[in-house]
Structure 1
Amino acid sequence: MVTRPADLFDRTIEWSDLTNLVTMAAPGIRVAVVSGRRRHGKSYVLRRLAHAVDGLYHQARELERRPALDQFALDIADHLDLDPDSLRFEDWEAALRVALGMRRSTRAGRRRHGARLLVIDELPYLLAHSPEIPSALQLLYDEAQNDPDTPPTTVILCGSSLSVMRELLAGSKPLRGRAQLELAMSPFDYQLSRQFWDIDDPHVAFHVDAILGGTPGYKQLVTAPPPATTDGLERWLAGQVLNPASALFNEKSFLLREDPRNLDKAVYNSVLQTVAAGHHSPTAIGSAVGREYNALKHSLGVLEATGFLLRVEDVLTRKRPLYYLADPIIRFAQVVIDPYRALLEERDVSAAWRAASDSYSTHVLGPHFEHLARVWTARFSGGRWGQPVGEVGPAVINDARGRTQHELDVVALARGRRRHDEKAPIVVLGEAKSTNKQRTQADLNRLEHIRQVLQNSGRDVGRAQLALFSRTGFDESLTSEAAGREDVHLVTLEDLYTQRAS
């Protein structure tokens, strides 16, 4: 049993997966691949894991091959309590053998004071000049498989470059089929983020999450806690994200540079800007960027593979996918920082914030509220719908009679049914609005009409519930109507933050 660090917030699943692997008693080498964007807490967790089991933790740096090998040798010497000048390696196979206590000669015995756990953090820095490292690990892994006397050892490879880390286990790569654990370190969900930042007011929590997302590492980069109420938001942002001296001011640029596949910066920035402005279909993105969809396929694929775009499929019909920005801080930078950079660099935050207020409401708060509505429906809404929910996402409904289309933010299918299944029961039809206006009877009428359109097309909506999500509440007429109906649900921002399924 590995003692959980007292300073580790959440990450209970990740900690359990990692410690279960490290404490396995079976002989041989086990491999884990841990990936995640910058500041998601990968290194934080792995350093504590290495400390808890007296493992060897190596933080790779952007160095050339010779200095990188020397730094690895220093960490091995420190871990094994050797003279720092006693180790020098000419290749990574030799270095890894010493780190893991594996000798070339089977007659001499393989194990000599190696690490029970070896963590190589930011592996992509090493692969840039030493692409043979996975092959060396494959060799040692296979040797250990053939030697029943090899003590249980775990090697964890970690990195922030998502495309590089995903390639480690792809196709015919050396480590394909040899990793027992592939762990993606995700940001905290919006409810955990509120706890992590210790925010009482759900409206403040919503703004902070819409700007910073659930990235725990950002908490270390701010100099003051979030305000108690939204009245203090502008002042707080002025000293933090909108401050040119803040580390978060240029975070978007740092994120884009971290992945080696993001080479065509002009195209990628144009795509991100276009998506941030509300263009989500490939056709709309191509039109705004000035390129045909086929010419953008590669760029969209790279941005998806590197974790900057989320590809979301329509729940009901097979259409071209929709693309959303995966990281709130990139969206905030595209909408608020970059267009008004000159004002912000002149420290005129008030003018910049006023100029950006409409775009912030429409292109930051709007899509984020829709996202929270989908997450809540899928994970936290419990049994209020009368049947369990499965796939949740947006959808476009064709209205042949009305010769129009209806876009819905939240559509949930019955659990166990796959999207695009025309016979799947629809559990929830919902719409989320983050405007400053209360929702009215007209919004409910629209959902009822869409439900009827779906029924006319042969969809199973016999038990479909109607959900209206609002950040600013509902008028008296709608509230009264909903109170007398079991199929209508009015969901406030407070509901999104206080209701969490067990």
Structure 2
Amino acid sequence: MFDREVEWSDLVAFATQERAGATLGVVSGRRRQGKTFLLDSLAQAADGFYFQAVESTETVSLHSLGTALGRHRGIGPLRLATWEEAVDELLALGSDRSLPVVIDEFPYLARQNSALPSIIQAAYGPRRSQRLTSRTRLLLCGSAISFMGGLLSGSAPLRGRASLDLVVHSLDFRQAAEFWGIDDLRLAVLTHAVVGGTPAYRDFVNGDAPDSLTDFEPWLERAVLNPSSSLYREARYLLAEEPDLRDRALYSAVLSAIAAGNHTRSGVTSYVGRPATDLTHVLKVLEDCGLLQIEPDAFRGNRNTYRIAEPLLTFHHAVMLPSLTHIERRRPRLAWQQNQRQFECSVLGPHFEAMCREWVSAFAAPETFGGLPTEVRSGVVADPKGRSSHEVDVVVHGIVGQDPGILLSVGEVKWHREMGVRDLDRLRHILVLLGARGMDTTHARPACFGGGGFSPELVAAGRRGEVILVDLERLYRGE
């Protein structure tokens, strides 16, 4: 187990609580994050019960569950005719002690019988005697984000019944570098832009990680752009496994539009060639499935930015799909050469910007920005006099003293080139524009995030406290 101490601690605390009465927990997260490993390990450690559902019929699933329950109890297979009987048997497992009972891939069972959440609700009724005497710690797990997110929301039957709602997230970029064993920070960024923080992807390539910057392209050719690699078709499976994505061609087109650099609604509609009204539902479903992040503009409340949540999906649509013929014919080098520029502009650049925003949210010390960051976004600032607009990669709002929502910083991100005083002057100009609009900029400091380093003049300005400088070393190891 790697870096899942918090999740493991929460699961153990839930599974071992001694108070009387059956309890319910929900575990969710995108596929390949290690949910099954965590829950199977929990069941083994506590001598609990683990059952993994599969896509099948209700009758077959009840038969499989009855067989697994009988095996766990050391008796013959149980004959379960209904889900009411099945849930009663699960509650009976905890009649003598606190016991974790895991139902993995729960959405498969709920699709076979849509009443299953209501059946569990009834079994967990506040006055039901079997629930009061049982100490079953029932954990429902699933990767269908939209479904699992709805289990406990609104007027859903299980709302208010669960005492644990655990989301297993991807590893952050620092954890991912350690997990892949990459010490070269520039190489770590490149690799993270392709595979992100999904732990299972290292197993998909048999632990093969690029060992140097010069090995990055050969690694792409042998591990990602290789039709024999398990990672090669993973992006397609991510879409195929989501039950709510019906018109997959349209969903794929929307993802291709965003991967190509179209991060606004108008850009997506223009690329796809469909009216904005046709895409409203598509964008919402992709967000609900955890495949798309919709981020409000830091300065314009009516403008959203769309970003793909899974880096491998971005890489697939920006780099792999345009040269699929070359890849299928085992010409990965040619495919990479044709799309390397696209990777740098549409994949690597935006990904590095997102990493810098994550650093502010997750790793920067409060004193770095003179306050506690609470909202980190990108934004666009209009320049009426210059008849133009300025994109701001990192906009930080936070708390200063007791005052919330204070503008703490505006930041520029550059991956390839050395940043200089010209970048600082641009940020100062943006602050002047914001001040002219009536925004309080007295606490705001310019920030430069550079993958290619900083000029001596900019370093000197940083020492004078005129600008916050964040290089790769600080991004990965500092505050």
Q: Return the TM-score normalized by structure 1.
A: 0.91
How far apart are residue 492 of structure 1 and its match?
1.3
Match of 1:316 in 2: 299
Cross-structure match for 1:19: 12
Give runs of aligned pairs for residues 450-469 of structure 1, distance below 5 A. 450-469=430-449
Q: Distance in 2 between matches of 1:93 and 1:311?
A: 40
**1:61 partner SS:** coil
Shift of 1:170: 2.7
| 8 Å CA contact 1:61, 1:122 repeated in 2 | yes
Match of 2:205 in 1: 222
From 361, 365, 386, give the equivalent of 1:402. Answer: 386
Root mean square deviation, CA, Å: 2.0
For 1:186 and 1:112, the matched residues in 2 are separated by: 33
- Aligned residue in 1 for 2:184: 201
Deviation at 1:303, TM superposition (A): 0.6
> How many matched pairs?
478
Deviation at 1:40, TM superposition (A): 0.7
Which whole-Å CA distance do the structure 2 matches of 1:145 and 1:477 have between them? 72
How does 1:143-158 map onto structure 2 within 5 Å? 146=129, 150-158=133-141
Correspondences of 1:174-323 after superposition (within 5 Å) = 174-323=157-306
Instruction: Specify whether residues 117 and 228 from structure 1 end up closer, same or farther in structure 2 by C-alpha distance, changes over 3 A only.
Output: same
Residues in 2 aligned to 1:168 and 1:306: alpha-carbon distance in whole angstroms: 14
Q: Is the counterpart of residue 432 in structure 1 residue 425 in structure 2?
A: no
**Alpha-carbon contact 2:173-2:355 (below 8 Å) kept:** yes
Q: Is the 8 A contact 1:144 1:150 kept in 2?
A: no
Which TM-score applies when normalising by structure 2? 0.95
Contact 1:55-1:117 within 8 A present in 2 as well: yes
Residue of structure 2 aligned with 1:488, choices 445, 464, 467: 467
The answer to whether the 8 A contact 1:40-1:186 is kept is yes
Task: Decide which of 429, 432, 438 is 1:449's aligned counterpart.
Answer: 429
1:300-332 deviation digits (Å, cap 9, x = unpaired): 101111111101112233122111000000001
- Report how far residue 146 of structure 1 moved: 4.9
Aligned to 2:21: 28
The match for 2:353 among 350, 370, 375 is 370
Structure 1, 409-418 or 246-255: larger mean CA deviation: 409-418
Give the alignment partner of residue 452 of structure 2, picking from 460, 468, 472.
472
Looking at structure 1, the residues matched to 168 and 81 of structure 2 have their Cα atoms a distance apart, in angstroms, of 33
When structure 1 is superposed on structure 2, of 464-473 and 221-230 the one drifting more is 221-230
SS in structure 2 at match of 1:424: strand
Name the amino acid aligned to 1:87: L
Q: 1:393 aligns with which of 377, 386, 392?
A: 377
Partner of 2:476: 497
Give the partner amino acid of 1:482.
Answer: G
Q: Which 5+ residue runs of structure 1 have no aligned equivalent?
A: 1-7, 103-110
| 1:412 paired to 2:412 | no
Once residues 98 and 19 of structure 2 are traced to their aligned partners in structure 1, the CA distance between those partners, rounded to angstroms, is 16
CA deviations over 1:241-260 (Å, ceiling 9, x no partner): 11101111111111001111
Cα distance, 1:72 vs. partner?
Answer: 0.8
Partner of 1:3: none
Residues 1:122 and 2:105 are matched in the alignment: yes
Give unpaired runs (5+ residues) of structure 2: none
The one-letter amino acid of 1:269's match is: S
Q: Which residue of 1 aligns with 2:80?
A: 89
